Structure 1
Amino acid sequence: MKILHLIHKHQNRGAETFTCQLSNHQSKIGHEVKIVAVYNGEANLNWKDSIESLIGDENKFIDWKAWKKLSEYVNDFKPDIIQANSGDTLKYAVLSKITFGWKTPIIFRNASEVGQYLNSNSQKMFNYLLYRKVSGVASVSKKSKNDLIGHFSFLEKKTTIIPIGLEEKTVISRIKFDSSRRYNIVHVGGFSFEKNHEGLIRIFRKVVDQRKDIHLHLIGDGPLKSQIENFSNEFALNDYISFYGFVNNPLDYIKAADLLVLPSIIEGLPGVLLEAMYCKTPVIAYDVGGISEIVKSQTGTLMKKDDKEGFANAILEKIDHPDLTQLENAYNMVARNYMNKKLATKFLNFYKEVLE
C-alpha cells in the first residue's frame, strides 16, 4: 500500500511526532510511505526520509500554489490513501482535491475536540464542506469522536477510534534535578493557549504558598513562552520555576520528576500522560478531551477543569501520599493498549475498510 501523510509543519509537537512514528512502523511492515508538510518549519523530525513542504502560506485562505503542489505529489506518488494529521492538513487536502480533481481517499486523524474551534456559523459550514469530502476519520478518543459526531452526524459510520501511542523503549533518565529541591514537578507541552500555562502558574503559586521544597520544570517552546516567563516573574516564582525550551529527551525529564501535571483547557488524548505512565511518574490532569479515558482513580488523579484550588491540593496530596499501586496500573494499561507497533496495524486495517 502507498500512504501519503500530511502534517502541519516541521515542528516538534505531538501530531507531527506521532505521524513520523506511525510512518516508521508502516514502512517497516512493508508499505511505501511519504510525509509532506503543509507549511515550512525548522524542526528535525524522526523520519527516515526527507519531509517535503507545500510551502503553504498561513496567512492565505486561497493558496493555489500549495494546492497545486499537493496535486502534483498525488499524481507523482499515486498513494492509495492520504492521511491528514490535524492542523490545516485537512483543509489543504480537500481544497486541492476539489480544485484539481484527484480521486485518492482522504483519512482525517481527529486529535482534538473540533467543537472547541467552531466559533461561528461560517466556520461550521466550512468544516461541513471539508468533512463531506473525507472517506474516514480516526479519532484519538471516545470524547473526540462524540464531539465530532455531535457537530457532524453524517460522519458516524465513517469514524473509528485509534488512540495516540508510544514507542517501546527502556527509559533511563540521565537528568538529575537540583538536590536542594526535594520535590520536582514537570510539565511538557508547547506554549500555546490550549496548554494553559497561565493557569498552571496560578496553581503552582498556591502550592509554593504551602511549601518551599518544590520546583516546577517547564519543557517546551512556543509563541507564548516569553509571556509566561513574564507572568511567572509577576508571581515572584523565579526561584521555583525553570524554563528549558525544546529538548530532545523529554522522557528523561519525566522519568526524573516526582509528578507530571497537565492543566490543559483543550486536549484530544495527550501522549505526554501516556509517557508519564510509561515512566511510572504520577499524573494530575484536568478532565478535558479524552483524558478521563486514561486517567482514572486507578491510574492517576483527574481534576475538574478550572479547579485551581483542587489541583493545588491534589499536588500537595501526591507529595505526601504517593500511590505505588496506581503507578503499576497505569504502566500496565499503557504497555497493553497504547504502543505504536499495535496501533500501526489498526490504522492499516482502517485503511483497508475505507478502500473496500
Structure 2
Amino acid sequence: MKKAVFIINSLQNGGAERVVVTQANYLQKKGVAVTIICIHRGIQYELHPEISVVYLCDDTEISGLSYFTRAVGLVRKLNRELGRIMKDGDVSLLTSNLLFTDLIVRLSGYSDKALYVLHAHQDIVPFSHSFLYKMFIRWLYGKRQVIGVSTSVADEMINVYHLKPDTVKTVLNPINFEEADRLKTEKPGFTEPYILFCGRLTGVKHPERVIQAFCAGSFQEKYSLVILGIGELENELKTMAVSYGVGGKVYFRGWEKNVYKWMANADLLLLTSDTEGLSMVVIEALYCKCPVVSVRNSGTEKVMRGELKKYLCDSSVEGIVEKMKEGLRNYPEILPNYTEPYSVDRNVKSYFELYKEWNDSSV
C-alpha cells in the first residue's frame, strides 16, 4: 500500500491547512495510507477517520521564544516518527508545509527526502528582503525540492532568493470538485442577501477594509455582511462595525467547516489582502458561481483572468467600493475554465511524480 506523509504546524484554520486536509482526505479515499504529523495540537477540519494524526507536542500553539527553545526536541520527535513510518515500508510522498515546519524538517535526518511546499510569498515575513533573511532562505531550501503553489511563489524563490530553477516547481493548489459539489448544496440558514468575507482575521488579510468598504458604499441598505473566520482582530472588527453604525448588519460567524454553502448563496465575495500565494478562497468561490471582487495581487491575478480582470482593484476603500458596486450590478458568466486547473486529482498526481523524480535523482 502506498504511504503519504504530510507535516504541518497544525490543522487549525488557514489556507495551507485546508490544502493538506483536501489532499489527505482524497488520498485516503483512494487507498493510500495517510499520516499527518502536526507540530502542535489543533484540528478544525474534518478528516477521513482512517487518517493517522501524530502530534509532536501537546501545546495548542507555539510562539515567541518557544520557536527556538523547542526546536531540538521537536526534531528528535520528528526523526523518531518518520523512522517508525518508513521502517514499515516506503513512503511515496512526504511534504513539509509552512515555515516553522520547514525548519524542523530541514534540521531532521529526513531533510533531503521531503518536498517543501510554499503556500505564500515571503513578503508576509518582516524583513523578508534583508540580507540575513535571504541567507536563511537559501540555507533552508537550497539543494532541496521546493514546490510553489503558484508561478509567482515559485518565481520569487528563483528571482529574489536565487534558488536554482531546477529545484523549484509549481503545482497549483487543489479543490476536490466532488466534495465541493456535495457541500455547496447545503443551506447556510441565512435568509438575507449578503456580501461574504472568508479568511483569517489577521493583519495580513486586512479584514478591516471589508467593513470600511461595506459602510462607505452604503451596502447595508440592501445587504448584510457575513464574516467567516477567526483571529486576533475579531474584537477590534466588531467594535469597528458598531462605531460605523453597521453593527446590526455585520455577522461574525466564526470558523466555518463548510464555506461552500456560504459561497454558493452569497451575492459577492470580497478579498482584501495585499498578498496571496494562491487564493483558494477566490478559486472556491468561482467554482460555486459566486462573483468575486479582490484587491489586486499576484495570487489572484493568476485566477481572475479574461473578463474577470476588471474586478481586481487597488487597496483603497474607494477602489474597493467601486468594484463591489460594479460586481453586484453586472458580473460575467463564471466559466469552468477558471477553476478546472485546480483539480485535486491533477494536484496529487503531480506531487507523486515530482517526489519520485526528486528521490530517484538524489540517490
- Describe the superposition over 1:217-249 as per-residue Cα deviations: whole angstroms up to 9, x where unpaired: 101112221121112222222122111001222
Q: Does 1:350 align with 2:348?
A: no
After TM superposition, the structure 1 = structure 2 runs for residues 166-185 of structure 1, keeping only pairs within 5 Å, are: 166-169=175-178, 170=181, 171-179=184-192, 183-185=193-195
What is the CA–CA distance in structure 1 between the aligned matches of 2:324 and 2:141, rounded to whole Å? Answer: 41
Closer, same or farther: CA 283–176 of 1 in aligned 2, 3 Å: same
- Given candidates 91, 96, 109, the residue that maps to 2:117 is 109
Closer, same or farther: CA 226–150 of 1 in aligned 2, 3 Å: same
Alignment correspondent of 1:270: 279
Closer, same or farther: CA 69–154 of 1 in aligned 2, 3 Å: same
After TM superposition, the structure 1 = structure 2 runs for residues 4-83 of structure 1, keeping only pairs within 5 Å, are: 4-48=5-49, 49-55=51-57, 57-58=62-63, 59-62=66-69, 63-78=71-86, 79=91, 81-83=93-95
Alignment correspondent of 1:93: 105
Q: Which structure 2 segments of 5+ residues have no match? A: none
Q: Which moved more, 1:310-319 or 1:275-284?
A: 310-319
Which residue identity lines up with residue 12 of structure 2 in the other structure?
Q
Q: Does 1:192 align with 2:192?
A: no
Give, in angstroms, the shift of residue 189 of structure 1: 0.7
Give, in angstroms, the shift of residue 33 of structure 1: 2.6
Q: Is the 8 A contact 1:185 1:217 kept in 2?
A: yes
Task: Give the match's secondary structure for 1:70.
Answer: helix
Q: Which structure 1 segments of 5+ residues have no match? A: none
Q: Does 1:240 align with 2:249?
A: yes
Alignment RMSD: 2.1
Compute the TM-score of the two structures, normalised by the length of structure 2.
0.87
What is the CA–CA distance in structure 2 between the aligned matches of 1:263 and 1:278, rounded to whole Å? Answer: 19
Instruction: Give the fraction of aligned pairs with identical amino acids, expressed as a percent.
Output: 21
Which residue identity lines up with residue 113 of structure 2 in the other structure?
P
Q: Is the 8 A contact 2:314 2:320 kept in 1?
A: no
Give, in angstroms, the shift of residue 102 of structure 1: 4.2
Closer, same or farther: CA 41–257 of 1 in aligned 2, 3 Å: same
Task: Give the match's secondary structure for 1:239.
Answer: helix
Give, in angstroms, the shift of residue 211 of structure 1: 6.4
What is the CA–CA distance in structure 2 between the aligned matches of 1:103 and 1:203, rounded to whole Å? Answer: 46
- Given candidates 317, 327, 337, the residue that maps to 1:318 is 327
What is the CA–CA distance in structure 1 between the aligned matches of 2:309 and 2:257, rounded to whole Å? Answer: 26
Compute the TM-score of the two structures, normalised by the length of structure 1.
0.89
Alignment correspondent of 1:226: 235
Aligned length: 342
- Describe the superposition over 1:37-77 as per-residue Cα deviations: whole angstroms up to 9, x where unpaired: 01222435424323111117432314221110000011111
